[in-house]
């Protein structure tokens, strides 16, 4: 992997947050969701309204403000390297939609595209 | 009806059996659950067994916990070993966790009796409990109205007398808003005060578990049981829990109480019902009468809370909910010719529309390039809100606002997502800041429906928050209690 | 305004400037082309438990037995960082001369059935270790961009009639490996050929093992390599389109894959075409790389800081403590033997066998470097060799070089030293290994000449192969105790005289 270096200039990109039907279709495919045409239309309008409302923060200059990823800042929370014996093998496979030979069974990785 | 404190005292002293207490609650559930639908599952069998065990302990002269024999309802997004934990989603309809959430362990150790798993908006996404895959929960005070959400089942359970206590989770107001709409007490603790281990995640940096109760004292009791450091949650605060029960009745004499002007309809935010605002002012006046100093204070960036929230929460949710892919557990849609097709079909069939909306909103926020564009920016706005609140707390011990801009609304009244989201305007700032906040009933608004007053406190300021909440409760009951 | 690290290119160029001054491995490509290779090496960390889950980290268990709700990604579970994994990662970072910094974990989001949460916890714009370097035995320095922590995926096995990946059938998923701690070491594109790539990985493997970060086993998948490969006109500093070659499972494959892929690029350019940036898979049997499934959309991993985890911020004290506990690294160990008089090859072998300290100590006590390292190479690939007392070892080498023991005797004594721990002098005495006096040997030879006059005269007339006959006869008579060199000397003297 590598790090994206085309980092965003504060306030440059987010203005263009008007959402198109294609955007929604693209996002749905990234999220592994199938939408009907009717849903696509409905969601496009609804999501666009939410993004439109959220545009009020685009104007805010927060370039000098540190982001808050955790409300209560702690660091170096570590666990000891000790095995916790918790036999969930059977339980895990029992909850599997399909299992075989102690493993989770799924359709082939690459089958015919639907 | 007895309070949790009274029940625990009576059971511990052997004056009442846990079993008899349980039966009285189960019979109330029998009477009204059909019209309320607070529960996804009532776990009567397990509850009876637990109650019998508590009674045996008491009979044997053993020490029992602070919640001995107290029935507690759990929001159905907290994991319970061997008992379905569904998040009110088709996705997890039959899923039985092989482990207990930390809060469930703590409740058990305290002697509580779990009576059932309560309904919620699917994956806690919503403000009305209408987004449940298993049907709407009705407000016990008016069954044509919503109980609020997403912890609507837990709020309704306490309001209907199905349990003296329940647990909910609060990501943007999901405990406090339904508490307000159902006329009960609901509290969101400081982020990190209560372990999230075993709480099925919605938005990890905002989610907190907290108590519902009929009284402020019961809320403080339940909080004391569930709070505390947990090594299984990296974001858990490694500090001892303050004794909020000891200072409950300290009174507000000399305390400084600020009313947040932006959340009183005095800024760009609209849609506050006048009766709601009037009750908040009444509560403030009552506090002033009890010796507190009360003034208005501006917390300007609170108006941006909703926008920041709807970048952060969906972004985290889109990632948290990726694991529901039909491979290991949960719903699998049959007929997928390859893994990707199976996963897509399973997610499409397993999630309801609101969950899909938020996943897409969050995927969009994160896919627009480097995460700093939306998610990071929203986290910076979050800092602005924390800074503004810090300024306010330089002059005030606690802050007041409405919990919800409106009283319980009719089922189906808010079908537009954005309109629904606007319900959370007053509660979101505390989630973004990670601060504690509590909703206390104070009088009624339109249609005689209850109004909740929100008391906000700084990080780990639960003790003063509870003291003020207790004073408001006292004033609401006309000084009786 | 962002926390993003310096663009890759600026540090890369400085590394090239350094490298361009040293002579590089000659490429197998036409002389006017140059390879530009960067490697991403994944190493599984040698911990007891997984990166974020207290399940066992162990290779070769029954499927789905090393699992826990956390690494199965069950709803409601939360990750907690394995402190040992962080420590091992810092150890490696320091060994690679990296800057160790405050870092955060990020989620890399993509759907993959082997990945229980459908995101991988990795590090993105704030990795643990940055800006290091690794010096090869050749003296070339390869820049290390970063070495970050992440979690491994599970494994799926295709089950189908033909066993081919495209047939129907189905897959079975085993999550034993899911969540195993990994360190990903990303080099700058400083590598210029397949041999250098192999040398880099081999040296990295030695370092991983030396600092105890990983067992470095290719065959168990605890070491895996992806190669970012491109070519450019020799001497230019441009960066052309690169392809990421995956599924390289041995050093040999790595060399072959690079050779194939760079040639493919050159062929494309020569044909007036150009490679497209893509991920390709090395096909070991076919000896070629193949394009992965074409992706309809560009990869969009939607990285963001993992809200379930808090930053790792190693204190200067902790880093220093780890630095102090680091062993002497392979490069320095080899250099020490070379400085003491060994050859580079013998030194490398001694380090490989972890016998360099023994050899160095023996050499410090006056043992001949060449003889010492020869024993390490030829006679000490045995269990217990490490327990050998350096003084005894030195004594043995001195006995041998002083003529007190023949090479054959020394070998036998050494074997017994390893077994019993006894001193070489005692063993030699007990076995009756006294050095044979020259006069004694001469008498013996005279007897043999007398018994084989024909052979002797032919030998004296120049039939050199008969040296073996006489040597053999003497060895037979002395039961192998005579010194070969002494015999040769004697034969030369007598035949000339």
The helix or strand, by DSSP H or E, that contains position A100, with its residue range, turns out to be strand A99-100
Q: Looking at the predicted structure, is the pLDDT value of residue C269 above 50? A: yes
**Which of B171, B72, B190 lies closest to B124 in space, CA to CA?**
B171
Is A106 inside a domain boundary? no
Q: Looking at the predicted structure, is the pLDDT value of residue C261 above 80? A: yes
First-last CA distance in chain B: 13
Q: Which residues of chain A does B311 touch, with a Cβ-Cβ cutoff of 8 Å?
A: 54, 57
**Which of B340, A103, B343 lies closest to C157 in space, CA to CA?**
A103
Q: Considering only B10-19, B117-126, C401-410, which range has the smallest mean pLDDT?
A: C401-410
A44: CATH: 1.10.20.60
Domain boundary residue, one of B316, B335, B369: B369
Q: Are residues B331 and B451 in the same domain?
A: no
Q: How far apart are CA C486 and CA C442, in angstroms?
A: 10
Percent helix, strand and coil across chain A, each rounded to 5? 35, 5, 60
Is A31 inside a domain boundary? yes
Active site residue B150: yes
Instruction: Specify which residues C351 forms β-bridges with.
Output: none
Q: Is A61 on the interface with C (CB under 8 A)?
A: no
Pick the catalytic residue from B19, B57, B154, B174. B174
Q: How far apart are CA B376 and CA C120, in angstroms?
A: 20
Q: Which residue of A has its CA nearest to B352?
A: A33
Residue B99, number of CB atoms within 10 A of its CB: 22
Q: Which residues of chain A does B372 touch, with a Cβ-Cβ cutoff of 8 Å?
A: 7-8, 67
Dmax (CA) of chain A: 57
**Phi, psi values for residue C363, rounded to 5°:** -65, -35
User: Mean pLDDT over residues B434-451, rounded?
Assistant: 98
The predicted-structure confidence for A60-113, as pLDDT tens digits, reads as follows: 889 899 999 999 999 999 999 999 978 899 999 999 999 999 999 999 987 544
User: Mean pLDDT over residues C454-474, rounded?
Assistant: 88
Tokens coding C63? 């499927």
State the ipTM, two decimals. 0.97
Q: Is B319 on the interface with C (CB under 8 A)?
A: yes
Confidence of residue C45 (pLDDT cuts 50, 70, 90): very high
User: Mean pLDDT over residues C292-316, rounded?
Assistant: 84
Q: Which of A69, A82, A88 sits opposite C69 (nearest CB)?
A: A88
The predicted-structure confidence for B150-169, as pLDDT tens digits, reads as follows: 999 999 999 999 999 999 99
Q: How far apart are CA B475 and CA B261, in angstroms?
A: 22
Cβ atoms of A53 and B306 closer than 8 Å: yes
CA B249 centroid distance within chain: 24
The predicted-structure confidence for C17-38, as pLDDT tens digits, reads as follows: 333 333 445 457 888 999 999 9
Residues 6 or more apart whose Cβ sits within 8 Å of residue B323: C73, C75, C116, C117, C118
Q: How far apart are CA C73 and CA C154, in angstroms?
A: 12
A6-30 in b/e form (b: 16+ CB < 10 A) is ebbebeebbeebebeeebbbbbbeb
Domain boundary residue, one of B369, B384, B410: B369
What is the model's pLDDT at position B143? 98
Q: How far apart are CA A84 and CA C71, in angstroms?
A: 12
**Phi, psi values for residue B273, rounded to 5°:** -70, 135
Q: Is A75 on the interface with C (CB under 8 A)?
A: yes
Q: Looking at the predicted structure, is the pLDDT value of residue C439 above 80? A: no
DSSP string, B334-403: TT-SSHHHHHHHHHHHHS-HHHHHHHHHHHHHHHSSSGGGTHHHHHHHHHHHHHHHHHHHHH-SEEEEES
Q: How far apart are CA B102 and CA B192, in angstroms?
A: 13
Q: Which of A29, A81, A89 sits opposite C83 (nearest CB)?
A: A81
Q: How far apart are CA B137 and CA B145, in angstroms?
A: 9
**What is the DSSP secondary structure assignment for residue C293, as one 8-state letter?**
P
Residue B277, number of CB atoms within 10 A of its CB: 20
Confidence of residue B18 (pLDDT cuts 50, 70, 90): very high
Q: Is C30 on the interface with A (CB under 8 A)?
A: no
Active site residue B391: no
Q: Which residues of chain A does C309 touch, with a Cβ-Cβ cutoff of 8 Å?
A: 77
What is the model's pLDDT at position C166? 53
Q: Are residues B204 and B328 in the same domain?
A: no
Structural domains of chain B, count: 2
Residue C184 sits at the vertex; the CA angle it makes with C250 and A74, to the nearest 5 degrees, is 155
3-state class (DSSP) for residue C239 = coil
Q: Are residues B99 and B204 in the same domain?
A: yes
Estimate the crossing angle of helix B353-367 against helix A37-53, to 10 degrees.
60
Instruction: Specify which residues C181 forms β-bridges with.
Output: C151
Is A76 inside a domain boundary? no
Q: Are B315 and C78 a contacting pair at CB < 8 A?
A: no
What is the model's pLDDT at position C154? 97
For the beta sheet containing C304-305, the strands, ordered from the edge strand earlier in sequence to the opposite edge, are C119-122, C106-109, C304-305
* Burial zone of C478 (CB within 10 Å; 0-12 exposed, 13-18 middle, 19+ buried): middle
Cβ atoms of B163 and B73 closer than 8 Å: yes
Cα torsion C388, C390, C391, C392: sign: positive
B446-459 in b/e form (b: 16+ CB < 10 A) is eeebbbbbbbbbbb
Specify the pairing of strand C170-174 against strand C243-248: unpaired
**What is the DSSP secondary structure assignment for residue B240, as one 8-state letter?**
P
Mutate which of A94, A108, A110 to disrupt the C interface (most C C-beta within 10 Å)? A108
Is A53 inside a domain boundary? yes
Q: Is C497 on the interface with A (CB under 8 A)?
A: no
Looking at the domain C438-496, which fold is it? Arc Repressor Mutant, subunit A (1.10.10)
Q: Is A5 on the interface with C (CB under 8 A)?
A: yes
Residues 6 or more apart whose Cβ sits within 8 Å of residue B234: A74, A77, C78, C79, C80, C81, C308, C309, C310
Q: Which residue of B has its CA nearest to A24?
A: B360
Q: Are residues B284 and B321 in the same domain?
A: no
Q: Which of C74, C76, C107 sits opposite B199 (nearest CB)?
A: C76
Q: Is C290 on the interface with A (CB under 8 A)?
A: no
Query: Which residue in the block uniquely carries the two structure tokens 């800041």?
Result: B433
Structural domains of chain A, count: 1
First-last CA distance in chain C: 91
Tokens coding B405? 């801009």
The predicted-structure confidence for C61-91, as pLDDT tens digits, reads as follows: 999 999 999 999 999 999 999 999 999 999 9
Q: Are A95 and B95 a contacting pair at CB < 8 A?
A: yes
Cβ atoms of B145 and B410 closer than 8 Å: yes
Q: How far apart are CA C331 and CA C441, in angstroms?
A: 46
User: Mean pLDDT over residues C223-234, rounded?
Assistant: 96
Please tell me the number of Cα atoms within 13 Å of A76 on its side-chain side. Answer: 8
Q: Looking at the predicted structure, is the pLDDT value of residue C13 above 50? A: no
Tokens coding C456? 């002797």
Domain extent at residue A58 = 14-63
Domain limits of chain C?
Answer: 8-322, 330-422, 438-496
Q: Are A8 and C293 a contacting pair at CB < 8 A?
A: no
**What number of residues does chain A have?**
114
* % of residues, chain B, pLDDT over 90: 93
What is the residue-averaged pLDDT of chain C?
A: 88
* % of residues, chain C, pLDDT over 70: 91
Q: Is C109 on the interface with B (CB under 8 A)?
A: yes
B43: CATH: 3.90.1300.10
CA–CA distances in Å: residue B277 to residues B262, B273, B295, B304:
12, 7, 15, 20
Q: Are A5 and C84 a contacting pair at CB < 8 A?
A: no
Q: Looking at the predicted structure, is the pLDDT value of residue B119 above 80? A: yes
Cβ atoms of A52 and B412 closer than 8 Å: no
What is the model's pLDDT at position C436? 64
Pick the catalytic residue from B150, B154, B195, B318. B150
Q: Is A12 on the interface with C (CB under 8 A)?
A: no
Cβ atoms of B88 and B152 closer than 8 Å: no
**What is the DSSP secondary structure assignment for residue A20, as one 8-state letter?**
P
Q: Are residues B341 and B224 in the same domain?
A: no
Is A108 inside a domain boundary? no
Considering just the CA atoms, what is the radius of gyration of chain C in Å?
29
For the CA atoms of C352, C354, C355, C357, what is the dihedral angle to 10 degrees?
120
CA C221 centroid distance within chain: 14
Q: How far apart are CA B322 and CA C116, in angstroms?
A: 9
**Phi, psi values for residue B127, rounded to 5°:** -130, 20
Active site residue B439: no
Specify the pairing of strand A78-79 against strand C304-305: unpaired
The predicted-structure confidence for B365-383, as pLDDT tens digits, reads as follows: 998 677 888 899 999 999 9
Q: How far apart are CA B279 and CA B159, in angstroms?
A: 20
Is A18 inside a domain boundary? yes
What is the model's pLDDT at position C497? 67
What is the model's pLDDT at position C31? 86
Considering just the CA atoms, what is the radius of gyration of chain B in Å?
21
What is the model's pLDDT at position A4? 35
Q: Looking at the predicted structure, is the pLDDT value of residue C53 above 80? A: yes
Specify the pairing of strand B185-188 against strand B437-444: antiparallel
Q: Which residues of chain C does A94 touch, with a Cβ-Cβ cutoff of 8 Å?
A: none
What is the tally of helices (H) and strands (E) in chain C? 16, 15
Q: Which of B339, B376, B387 sits opposite A106 (nearest CB)?
A: B339
Q: Are residues B327 and B470 in the same domain?
A: no
The predicted-structure confidence for C310-331, as pLDDT tens digits, reads as follows: 999 999 999 999 999 999 999 9
A49-58 in b/e form (b: 16+ CB < 10 A) is bbbeebeebb
Domain boundary residue, one of B337, B354, B369: B369
The predicted-structure confidence for A18-47, as pLDDT tens digits, reads as follows: 789 999 999 999 999 999 999 999 999 999
Q: Are residues B81 and B163 in the same domain?
A: yes
Q: Are residues B290 and B403 in the same domain?
A: yes
CA–CA distances in Å: residue B4 to residues A37, B185, C123:
52, 13, 47
Query: Chains with 3 or more CB pairs closer than 8 angstroms to C?
Result: A, B
The predicted-structure confidence for B175-191, as pLDDT tens digits, reads as follows: 999 999 999 999 999 99
Q: How far apart are CA B220 and CA C227, in angstroms?
A: 59
Domain extent at residue B273 = 1-302+370-481
């Amino acid at each position: 992997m590598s790090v994206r270096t085309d980092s965003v200039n504060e306030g440059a990109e987010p203005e263009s947050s008007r959402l198109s039907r294609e955007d929604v279709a693209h996002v749905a495919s990234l999220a592994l969701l199938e939408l009907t045409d009717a849903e696509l239309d409905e969601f496009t309008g609804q999501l666009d309204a939410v993004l439109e409302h959220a545009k009020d923060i685009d104007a805010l200059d927060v370039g000098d403000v540190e982001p808050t990823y955790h409300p209560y800042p702690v660091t170096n929370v570590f666990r000891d390297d000790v095995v916790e014996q918790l036999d969930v093998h059977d339980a895990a496979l029992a909850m599997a939609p399909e299992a075989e030979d102690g493993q989770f069974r799924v359709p082939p990785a690459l089958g015919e595209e639907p | 009806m007895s309070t949790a404190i009274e029940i625990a005292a009576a059971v511990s002293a052997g004056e009442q059996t846990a079993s008899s207490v349980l039966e009285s609650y189960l019979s109330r559930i029998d009477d009204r659950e059909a019209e309320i639908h607070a529960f996804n599952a009532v776990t009567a069998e397990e509850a009876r067994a637990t109650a019998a065990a508590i009674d045996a302990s008491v009979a044997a002269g053993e020490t029992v916990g602070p919640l001995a024999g107290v029935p507690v309802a759990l929001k159905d997004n907290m994991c319970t070993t061997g008992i379905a934990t569904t998040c009110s989603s088709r996705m997890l309809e039959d899923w039985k966790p092989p482990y207990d959430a930390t809060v469930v362990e703590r409740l058990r150790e305290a002697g509580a009796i779990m009576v059932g798993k309560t309904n919620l908006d699917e994956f806690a996404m919503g403000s009305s409990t209408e987004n449940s895959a298993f049907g709407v929960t009705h407000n016990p005070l008016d069954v044509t109205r919503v109980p609020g959400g997403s912890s609507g089942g837990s709020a309704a359970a306490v309001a209907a007398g199905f349990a003296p206590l329940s647990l909910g989770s609060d990501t943007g107001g999901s405990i406090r808003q339904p508490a307000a709409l159902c006329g009960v007490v609901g509290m969101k603790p400081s982020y990190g005060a209560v372990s999230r281990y075993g709480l099925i995640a919605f938005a990890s940096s905002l989610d907190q578990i907290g108590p519902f109760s009929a009284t402020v004292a019961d809320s403080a009791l339940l909080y004391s049981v569930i709070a505390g450091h947990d090594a299984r949650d990296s974001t858990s605060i490694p500090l001892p829990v303050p004794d909020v029960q000891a200072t409950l009745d300290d009174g507000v004499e000399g305390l400084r109480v600020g009313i947040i002007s932006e959340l009183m309809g005095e800024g760009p935010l609209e849609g506050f019902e006048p009766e709601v605002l009037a009750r908040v002012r009444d509560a403030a006046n009552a506090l002033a009468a009890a010796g507190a100093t009360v003034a208005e204070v501006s917390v300007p960036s609170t108006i941006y809370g909703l926008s920041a929230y709807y970048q952060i929460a969906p972004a985290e949710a889109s990632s948290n909910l990726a694991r529901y892919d039909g491979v290991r557990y949960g719903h699998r849609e049959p007929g997928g010719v390859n893994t990707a097709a199976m996963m897509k079909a399973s997610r499409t069939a397993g999630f309801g529309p609101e969950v899909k909306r938020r996943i897409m909103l969050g995927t969009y926020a994160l896919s627009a390039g480097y995460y700093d564009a939306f998610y990071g920016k929203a986290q910076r706005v979050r800092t602005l809100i924390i800074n503004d609140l810090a300024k306010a707390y330089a002059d005030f011990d606690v802050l007041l606002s409405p919990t919800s801009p409106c009283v319980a609304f009719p089922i189906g009244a808010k079908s537009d997502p954005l309109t629904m989201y606007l319900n959370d305007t007053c509660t979101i700032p505390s989630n973004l800041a990670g601060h504690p906040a509590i909703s206390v009933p104070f009088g009624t608004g339109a249609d005689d429906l209850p109004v909740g007053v929100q008391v906000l406190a700084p990080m780990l300021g639960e003790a003063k928050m509870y003291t003020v909440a207790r004073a408001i409760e006292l004033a609401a009951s006309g000084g009786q209690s | 305004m962002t926390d993003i690290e310096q663009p890759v290119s600026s540090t890369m160029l400085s590394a090239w400037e350094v490298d361009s001054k040293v002579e590089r491995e000659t490429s197998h490509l036409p002389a006017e082309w140059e390879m530009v290779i960067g490697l991403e090496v994944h190493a599984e960390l040698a911990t007891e438990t997984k990166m974020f889950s207290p399940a066992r980290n162990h290779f070769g268990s029954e499927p789905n037995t090393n699992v826990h709700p956390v690494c199965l990604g069950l709803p409601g579970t939360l990750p907690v960082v394995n402190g040992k994994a962080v420590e091992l990662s810092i150890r490696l970072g320091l060994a690679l001369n990296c800057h160790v910094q405050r870092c955060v974990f990020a989620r890399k989001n993509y759907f993959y059935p082997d990945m229980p949460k459908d995101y991988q916890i990795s590090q993105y714009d704030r990795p643990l270790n940055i800006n290091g370097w690794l010096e090869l035995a050749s003296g070339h320095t390869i820049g290390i961009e970063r070495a970050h922590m992440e979690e491994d995926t599970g494994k799926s096995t295709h089950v189908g009639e033909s066993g081919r990946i495209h047939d129907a059938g189905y897959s079975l998923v085993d999550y034993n490996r899911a969540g195993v701690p990994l360190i990903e070491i990303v080099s700058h594109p400083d590598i210029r050929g397949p041999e250098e790539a192999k040398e880099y990985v081999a040296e990295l493997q030695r370092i991983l093992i030396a600092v105890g970060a990983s067992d470095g086993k290719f065959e168990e998948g605890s070491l895996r390599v992806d190669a970012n490969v491109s070519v450019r006109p020799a001497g230019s500093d441009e960066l052309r389109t690169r392809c990421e070659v995956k599924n390289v499972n041995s050093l040999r494959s790595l060399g072959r894959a690079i050779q194939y892929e760079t040639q493919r690029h050159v062929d494309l350019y020569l044909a007036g075409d150009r490679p497209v940036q893509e991920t390709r898979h090395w096909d070991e049997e076919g000896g070629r790389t193949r394009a992965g499934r074409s992706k309809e959309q560009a990869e969009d991993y939607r990285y963001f800081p993992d809200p379930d985890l808090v930053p790792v911020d190693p204190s200067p004290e902790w880093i220093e403590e780890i630095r102090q506990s680091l062993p002497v690294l392979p490069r320095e160990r080899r250099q020490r033997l070379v400085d003491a008089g060994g050859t580079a090859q013998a030194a490398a072998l001694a380090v490989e066998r972890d016998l360099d300290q023994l050899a160095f100590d023996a050499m410090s006590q006056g043992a001949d470097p060449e003889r010492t390292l020869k024993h390490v190479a030829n006679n000490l690939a045995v269990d217990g060799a490490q327990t050998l007392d350096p003084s005894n070892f030195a004594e043995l080498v001195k006995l041998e070089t002083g003529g007190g023991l023949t090479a054959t005797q020394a070998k036998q004594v050494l074997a017994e030293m390893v077994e019993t721990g006894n001193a070489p002098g005692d063993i030699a005495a007990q076995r009756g290994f006294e050095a044979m006096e020259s006069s004694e040997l001469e008498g013996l030879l005279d007897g043999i000449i007398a018994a084989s006059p024909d052979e002797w005269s032919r030998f004296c007339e120049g039939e050199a192969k008969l040296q073996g006959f006489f040597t053999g006869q003497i060895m037979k008579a002395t039961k192998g105790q005579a010194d070969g060199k002494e015999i040769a000397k004697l034969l030369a003297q007598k035949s000339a005289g």
